[in-house]
Amino acid sequence: MLRIAIINLALFLVPFALYLLWTTVRGKRSDMPFYWLVGSGVALVLVAMIAFAQFETGDVTGQYEPPRFENGEIVPGRIVEPVE
């Protein structure tokens, strides 16, 4: 979960970094178009979330076995392949 949050934060900050790089190379500072940069960052995050949801399907062939308490220990959940 933390990995996804870090990726989303990085994608949100990309327009700000590109704008800073562009103004540094150009040599002229002007007022930062804050709303455009925020909108661009939000758009990048939304596109990444949609792409992640579309292409990361996971293992759909197995049966999910939830975590359980067995012999005084917690056995983690797992996906069990179906027996044929």
Q: Residue 11: what pLDDT?
A: 95
Q: Residue 1: what pLDDT?
A: 76
First to last CA, the chain: 34
Domain ranges of the chain: 2-59
Q: Residue 59: what pLDDT?
A: 58
**Grouped pLDDT means (10 residues each) for the chain, 84 residues:** 90 94 86 91 95 77 89 92 78
Q: Residue 73: what pLDDT?
A: 95
Q: H or E element: which one contains 64? A: strand 63-65
How much of the chain is in helix, strand and coil states, percent to nearest 5?
55, 15, 30
**Torsion of the alpha carbons at 43, 47, 53 and 57, rounded to the nearest 10:** -160
